[in-house]
Each structure stands twice: as structure tokens, then as C-alpha cells.
């Protein structure tokens, strides 16, 4: 018998109920029994609660209305055996959350959908992790707080090298942000880091393709969070429109006639802040007129689009935003703006944002230097001026946050470099910077930092497609002597509606022409799924 097994038996064996002298009652009414002395030894808050001058000292029942019973179970078990039991949080079908929405769905297609949903974190599970994290912070269980932060960070984002390598758990980001905001953490490092995810990958965060039963995306947001998410100019305007329309539709179905007009006004204000002029013509054609985006406003966006482009149109790339110019140590350089290849390295700018570090001067935006893997920013560390580096060590492969001073004195040549923080999670198949709390202190101090990486286009193209209506060309005039009217007439509205419908058909035909490669890739994925199923059998 070990100490761990004895403590576990004392907690879970009903025959040992006489060893328990307090019951914690969760917000859902669930009850968790424990021993006051054990809890007090692990948590300073429990020690003050049960052995200080508080009313809980003489009570055998304590209500903890901020946390459901499942969270209390995780915390109590951690206090007993010093382990985080995630099986209490994750549902039995954590890897098998599937819904069949079509009665005649092909078996191969269903297997493909099931394969895509493996290991996906549901909203309920993600919220429970946030609640455990908050409870650990409240009870001053700092090791549990760090462990649960690592689990949450690893579950949501496993790497930062590109969307194709992201895990599908981005679908739970909105639910996590909403829970953090509800618990007063809207200015914390974790919240701000997740906001970066929404800005760089808005579609998988706001509009997940999975069933809303498990991941609601934008539907998990309150109006206050909705405004916070969509007010950033970095969020793709087309995704913002789709998210607003989806949220508004769901809200109208579940709202009553007594809802405050102020809420509707606030929602309209958010919609008015979306720059429709940033959209391409095919994207505008996909937006159905509604109370938030009227036909007149969509028409004006078409007019603005046709006025602003010259005779050599280029398509607008998706998810484009301007980024600060990357710089080297003491010298600035700008991307080559003459290149027209949007996949060219010199058209992108990579930045890393560090937040929450105990050494305050470490926090800030770091810029990738040239073709290296080193991120830099200038600053001061104490009385020393120099450069902060986010770089990967050659031998160990660990990422480090380093300060290099500019001193050239011979006596200080061994003391001009300070390694402040080092990553704790190293994996050869995950070359990206470890996100969230996967860092330890060296010359720095607690708390350890949160790190997020953004990849943005440096000089985006503008959409400039010209389209024809009916049988002949009907391109909008760009002459200042013949401007298009700002306020459309009824005939112009009808024409724009026909324009929108025709563009939608053209866009659909274009998508159909591209289905050949998609069908081939789908067949390959299905064959792989069948092969895995045969091996399992």
C-alpha cells in the first residue's frame, strides 16, 4: 500500500465516511465530502476558512456557489492525491462526439466526419477546465493552476505554424472567452491570447463546422463579448458578417418581445462597424439582406467596390490584415511591396506577442528577423539597454526568452546576456513556440509568460473584380464627371439584387468546377478511414 492509494481509499471508499467532516456544496447542488485537515494542509484558503475566525469553522457544510460539483470533485481529489484527474471532466464519449443529421448519410462520409471530430474539446469540457483553473487560483493551489493552464493551452492550440496544423479545438475558444469574461478575467493574459486566435483564425473560432450541440462558436458569446471580438479591424469582415447574422438569427428565435431596445441598438452598432467595402464582389453576393445589413448598404458597398479599382483587377486574399514592419537589431527593413505573389515570404510579417511575464519589461510584441527563427524587440532590463530575444536553442531545442545588453566593456563580457525564461515542452513534431503556460523561470520571476504568434500579410491586394449583368457589360463608371448616386433608387436596388443573384450563381458554378480535386482528396481520406477501421477490427 502506498500513501497515494491510502488517501484515494480514504476519499472514495464509503466505509471511510467517518473520516470526512465537511461537505462542499456546488452551484448545481452536488455534494462533495472531504476532511477539513487534508484540505487545509493543501490550500491556505481552506486553512483560513476551517481553522480561522470564519463561520465555516464550526460548520459541516460549506456552499461554494461559484463552482459546480464536478469542479469541486477535481479540486478535492487533487488535494488528496496531488494529481489532476481529467477523467472527471472529460465525458465518456470525449473522442466520439458525433451527430448524424441526415438519415441517408453515406457510411464513408460519416466515418470521415467522425475522424475529424477525434479529440475535439467540447464547450462544456473547456468551460469546466476554466472553472477548475479559476478555483485553483481562488484556493491558492498554484501548481494546480499551472497544470490546468497547460492542459487548456495544449488542448486549444498545439502549434503555431499554420492553420492546417491547428487542432480542431479552436471551436471552443468562444466558450472559454465567455467563461473568462464572466469570471472577471477579460484583461488577463489567457483572455488576450485567445483574442489573438480569434483575430488570426476567425472562421474556426467563430463559425465551427461541427454540431452546435458540442461547440456553439459565436452562439456561446454574450453581446458584450460579441462586441469585443468583432470590434478589432483585424477580424475578417466577411466572417464578421456571417457571425453577426448567425448570432442575430439565434437570438431572435429565443428572445421575447420584452427585450430591451438598447440591446438591439447595440447589435446594430456592431454591424455598422463592419467594413463591407473590404469584401470582394463574390463575398458581397453571398450576404442576404437583413435587418443588420440592408439592401441599400450592400448596394453602396458594390458601388464603392466598382469605384475604387483600376483597369487591372486582382483578387483579394482571404483573412488579410496589415502588420507592423519586422526589424533587425538596430536596423529596420520592410517587405518587398512589388511582389504580387501572396504566398511569397517577403509579403508576410510574423510577430510574437508575450504577455503576463513576471518581468514586466519582457512583455510586448516581438518581430521575426529575416529568414531566421529569432524574434526581437528593443528595450531596457533594469539599467541596461539592449534587445530581448525569443529564440530556439540549438542543442536542446528549447525556446528561450533572452536579454542581450549592448555593453562592450571587457569586464562585463560574460554578464551581458540573461536567459529569463525557457520552454518546458519540447517536441520534434511540434516546431512552433509553446503557447500558454509551458514555460519555466531561469533568471526571470513568476508568473511565467503566455506567448502567441501571428502571421499576417504585409501589403494586401484589394478586390477588383468587374462583372457584367444581363447580356452586355455593365461595369460601373469610375469617372468623377459621372459619379454613381449615393442613395439608390428602387430601380437601382432591383438591379443590384439581380446583380447579387447572378454573382451567387457564378460563384456556385466556379465552386462546382473545383470539386474534382476535392472529390479525389475525399476518396483518399475515406480509403484511409476504411484502412484504420479494418486494422482495428
How does pLDDT run across 439-473, given as a tens digit for each residue?
788 888 877 787 777 765 443 333 333 332 333 33
Q: Cα–Cα distance between 495 and 513 in angstroms, integer?
A: 27
Q: Residue 436 and residue 356: Cα distance in Å, rounded? A: 10
- Helices and strands (H, E) in the chain, number of each type: 17, 11
Residues 492-536 pLDDT 10s = 455 555 655 655 565 565 555 545 444 544 554 555 555 555 555
Distance, CA of 35 to CA of 16 (rounded, Å): 11
CA distances from residue 206 to 70, 115, 212, 230, 271 in whole angstroms, order as listed? 27, 22, 11, 10, 15
Q: Is the predicted pLDDT of residue 361 greater than 50, yes or no?
A: yes
For position 502, what pLDDT does the model report?
A: 58
The CATH architecture assigned to 1-83 reads 2-Layer Sandwich (3.30)
Over the chain, what is the mean pLDDT?
73
Give pLDDT tens digits for 1-49. Answer: 788 888 888 888 877 778 899 999 999 999 999 999 999 999 999 999 9
Residue 349's H or E segment, with its range, is strand 348-355
Most confident of 260-274, 304-318, 376-390: 376-390
Round to the nearest angstrom and report the end-to-end CA distance of the chain.
38
- pLDDT computed for residue 435 by the predictor: 58
Report yes or no: 418 and 402 within 8 Å, Cβ to Cβ.
yes
Least confident of 44-48, 73-77, 232-236, 271-275: 232-236
Residue 249: per-residue pLDDT:
87
Cell readout for 371 is 529568414
pLDDT of amino acid 174: 94
Q: 127-181: per-residue pLDDT in tens? A: 999 999 999 999 999 999 999 988 888 778 654 444 444 445 788 999 999 999 9
The proportion of the chain whose per-residue pLDDT surpasses 90, expressed as a percent, equals: 26
pLDDT, tens digit (0-9, with 9 covering 90-100), for 424-446: 755 444 556 765 556 788 888 87
Quote the pLDDT of residue 313: 41
Q: Say if residue 13 is exposed, middle or buried (CB neighbours under 10 Å; 0-12, 13-18, 19+).
A: exposed
For the ranges 352-356, 450-454, 482-486, the maximum mean pLDDT occurs at 352-356
Instruction: Give the pLDDT score at 157.
Output: 65
pLDDT value of residue 243: 93
Q: What is the rounded distance in angstroms from the CA atom of residue 402 to the CA atom of residue 439?
A: 13
Hey, what's the torsion of the CAs at 189, 194, 200, 206, to 10 degrees?
Answer: -160
Q: Where are the domains of the chain?
A: 1-83, 113-274, 345-457
Q: How many CB atoms lie within 10 A of CB 201?
A: 20
For the segment 365-400, what is each residue's pLDDT rounded down to a tens digit? 998 887 777 899 999 988 888 999 998 877 777 888
Q: How confident is the model at residue 92 (pLDDT cuts 50, 70, 90)?
A: low
pLDDT at 103 exceeding the cut of 60: no
Per-residue model confidence (pLDDT) at position 263:
81
SS3 at position 62: strand
Amino acid at each position: 500500500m502506498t500513501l497515494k492509494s491510502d488517501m484515494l481509499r480514504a476519499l472514495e471508499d464509503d466505509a471511510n465516511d467517518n473520516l470526512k467532516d465537511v461537505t462542499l456544496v456546488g452551484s448545481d447542488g452536488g455534494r462533495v465530502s472531504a476532511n477539513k485537515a487534508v484540505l487545509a494542509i493543501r490550500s491556505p484558503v481552506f486553512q483560513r476558512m476551517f481553522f480561522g475566525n470564519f463561520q465555516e469553522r464550526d460548520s459541516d457544510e460549506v456552499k461554494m456557489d461559484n463552482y459546480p460539483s464536478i469542479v469541486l470533485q477535481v479540486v478535492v481529489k487533487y488535494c488528496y492525491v496531488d494529481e489532476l484527474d481529467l477523467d472527471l471532466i472529460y465525458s465518456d464519449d470525449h473522442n466520439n462526439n458525433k451527430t448524424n443529421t441526415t438519415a441517408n448519410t453515406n457510411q464513408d462520409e460519416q466515418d470521415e466526419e467522425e475522424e475529424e471530430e477525434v479529440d475535439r474539446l467540447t464547450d462544456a469540457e473547456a468551460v469546466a477546465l476554466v472553472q477548475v483553473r479559476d478555483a485553483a487560483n481562488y484556493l491558492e493551489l498554484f501548481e494546480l493552476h499551472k497544470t490546468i493552464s497547460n492542459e487548456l493551452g495544449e488542448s486549444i492550440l498545439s502549434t503555431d505554424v499554420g492553420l492546417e496544423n491547428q487542432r480542431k479545438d479552436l471551436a471552443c475558444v468562444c466558450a472559454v472567452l465567455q467563461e473568462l469574461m464572466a469570471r472577471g478575467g477579460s484583461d488577463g493574459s489567457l483572455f488576450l491570447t485567445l483574442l489573438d486566435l480569434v483575430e488570426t483564425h476567425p472562421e474556426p473560432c467563430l463559425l465551427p463546422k461541427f454540431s452546435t450541440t458540442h461547440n456553439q462558436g459565436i452562439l456561446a458569446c454574450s453581446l458584450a463579448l460579441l462586441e469585443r471580438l468583432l470590434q478589432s479591424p483585424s477580424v475578417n469582415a466577411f466572417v464578421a458578417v456571417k457571425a453577426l447574422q448567425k448570432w442575430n438569427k439565434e437570438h431572435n428565435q429565443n428572445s421575447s418581445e420584452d427585450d430591451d431596445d438598447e440591446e438591439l441598438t447595440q447589435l446594430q452598432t456592431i454591424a455598422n462597424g463592419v467594413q463591407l467595402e473590404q469584401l470582394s464582389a463574390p463575398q458581397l453576393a453571398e450576404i442576404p439582406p437583413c435587418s443588420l445589413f440592408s439592401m441599400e448598404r450592400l448596394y453602396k458597398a458594390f458601388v464603392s467596390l466598382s469605384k475604387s479599382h483600376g483597369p487591372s483587377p486582382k483578387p483579394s486574399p482571404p483573412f488579410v490584415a496589415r502588420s507592423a514592419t519586422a526589424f533587425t537589431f538596430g536596423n529596420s527593413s520592410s517587405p518587398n511591396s512589388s511582389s504580387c505573389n501572396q504566398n511569397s515570404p517577403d509579403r508576410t510579417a510574423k510577430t510574437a506577442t508575450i504577455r503576463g511575464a513576471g518581468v514586466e519589461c519582457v512583455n510586448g510584441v516581438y518581430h521575426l528577423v529575416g529568414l531566421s527563427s529569432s524574434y526581437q524587440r528593443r528595450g531596457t532590463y533594469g539599467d541596461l539597454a539592449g534587445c530581448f530575444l525569443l529564440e530556439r536553442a540549438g542543442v536542446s531545442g528549447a525556446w528561450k526568452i533572452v536579454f542581450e545588453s549592448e555593453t562592450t566593456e571587457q569586464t562585463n563580457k560574460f554578464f551581458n546576456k540573461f536567459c529569463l525564461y525557457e520552454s518546458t515542452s519540447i517536441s520534434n513534431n511540434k516546431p512552433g513556440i509553446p503557447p500558454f503556460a509551458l514555460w519555466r523561470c531561469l533568471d526571470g520571476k513568476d508568473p511565467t509568460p503566455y506567448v502567441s504568434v501571428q502571421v499576417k500579410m504585409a501589403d494586401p491586394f484589394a478586390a477588383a473584380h468587374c462583372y457584367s449583368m444581363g447580356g452586355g457589360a455593365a461595369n460601373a463608371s469610375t469617372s468623377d464627371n459621372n459619379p454613381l448616386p449615393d442613395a439608390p433608387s428602387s430601380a437601382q436596388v432591383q438591379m443590384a439584387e439581380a446583380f447579387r443573384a447572378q454573382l451567387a450563381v457564378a460563384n456556385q458554378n466556379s465552386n462546382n468546377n473545383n470539386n474534382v480535386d476535392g472529390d479525389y482528396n475525399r476518396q483518399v481520406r475515406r480509403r484511409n478511414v476504411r484502412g484504420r477501421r479494418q486494422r482495428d477490427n
